Amino acid sequence: MKNVLDVIAEKKAALPRKQRIVAEYMEQNPQLMSYITLKELSNDLQVTEITVLKTCQSLGYGGFNDIKYEFRKTAIEKRKTDVLDEKNSYTETIPAYESEDERKFLKSVGDNEAQMIVRFWEETDIEAIFKAAGMILGKKKIYICGRGISFLLAKCMVDYLYGCNCFASAVNTELNEEVYGVLSELNEDAIMVAVSFPDYYFMTLKLAEFAKKNRVTILAITDAPNAEVTEFADFTLTVPSMTRAFLNTLSAPMFLVNLLTSAVKILKNDKKDSEKEKEFSELL
């Protein structure tokens, strides 16, 4: 079955000039097309929203949401995510043609998610996980920052680390009082874990930029190696998060959080054992 990029490549030459401009923009920005709004696209290209909608129809799609969905499906298949969206929460209507057989569609959603976790685990670099864990243990102060889904992961990390007798604070970058409240604590004694999944939130990025300027060690946890937050990170862990039905799934990111905090616990136990051996040897 042809994907949306194949369809555009096949049909764009026959489109009217303005529609061809729209189609070529879509073709050149497939990752952004997963989540850009109709208004944003028309403004970027300085064409009417009607022109964009007509382009979608000329390409064989029922509307703008349908073509966005197809771009998103293609992105999942290619495991590429680089998306921007300013909305507080993301929702998307599943095209009718995908839900004609509801049970078949739900099974495909589950299959895709299970496959994503398996692929992530197969490709996981264990040494990278332990390196990140060592970075966390190497600092007196730990601040885990994020917004929305990313903040949920941050709070979960804090709870898991507490179970390792490793104390951290979660910072909701959507709340100004939390952001400004942590600024004075960001120095060389701190590590900032910047959790940033789509939609990538500007305040998380700004806080990471501020922390970088103040010589704070920064560990980024995100969905793509070219996500903007990685520009400020000393080290980055990536995990896929895109799902067919929602902007993000927590399954694979939570798996990463579990691995990372488990590595912290393992290293912390090793350190305790070493300290006990040293204490005993001093008695001999």
* φ and ψ of 135, to 5 deg: -60, -40
Tokens of 250: 């927590």
What are 181-233's pLDDT values in tens digits?
999 999 999 999 999 988 788 899 999 999 999 999 999 999 888 888 999 99
Lowest mean pLDDT among 9-18, 73-82, 190-199, 268-277: 73-82
- pLDDT value of position 270: 63
Confidence of residue 89 (pLDDT cuts 50, 70, 90): very low
How far is the C-alpha of 119 from the C-alpha of 9, rounded, in Å?
30
Name the helix (H) or strand (E) containing 146.
strand 141-146
Instruction: Name the average pLDDT for the chain.
Output: 86
Note whether 81 and 242 are within 8 A (CB). yes
Tokens of 193: 């874990």
Note whether 173 and 151 are within 8 A (CB). yes
What are 150-161's pLDDT values in tens digits?
999 999 999 999
Four-residue CA torsion sign, 31, 3, 113, 69: positive
Domain architecture of the chain: domains with CATH? 4-98 (1.10.10.10), 120-283 (3.40.50.10490)
Confidence of residue 75 (pLDDT cuts 50, 70, 90): confident
- pLDDT value of position 87: 39
Which residues on neighbouring strands pair with residue 170, listed in sequence order?
144
How far is the C-alpha of 68 from the C-alpha of 72, rounded, in Å?
6
Tokens of 242: 């895109």
Confidence of residue 32 (pLDDT cuts 50, 70, 90): confident
How far is the C-alpha of 207 from the C-alpha of 167, rounded, in Å?
20
Strands 141-146 and 235-238: unpaired
36: pLDDT strictly greater than 70: yes
* φ and ψ of 270, to 5 deg: -60, -40
Average pLDDT over residues 66-70: 85
Note whether 192 and 208 are within 8 A (CB). yes
Helices (H) and strands (E) in the chain, counts: 11, 5
- pLDDT value of position 30: 85
Tokens of 133: 């864990």
DSSP string across 218-279: EEEEES-TT-GGGGG-SEEEE-----SSSS--SHHHHHHHHHHHHHHHHHHHHHHHHHHHHH
- pLDDT value of position 269: 83
Bond before 199 cis per omega within 30 degrees: yes
Please name the residues in contact with 204: beta carbons below 8 A apart, sequence gap of 6 or more.
145, 146, 147, 150, 173, 194, 195, 196, 229
- pLDDT value of position 90: 44
How far is the C-alpha of 266 from the C-alpha of 132, rounded, in Å?
13
Determine if the pTM surpasses 0.95.
no
- pLDDT value of position 86: 38
Note whether 83 and 32 are within 8 A (CB). yes
DSSP string across 72-88: HHHHHHHT-------SS
How far is the C-alpha of 21 from the C-alpha of 17, rounded, in Å?
6
Which residues on neighbouring strands pair with residue 190, listed in sequence order?
141
- pLDDT value of position 29: 87
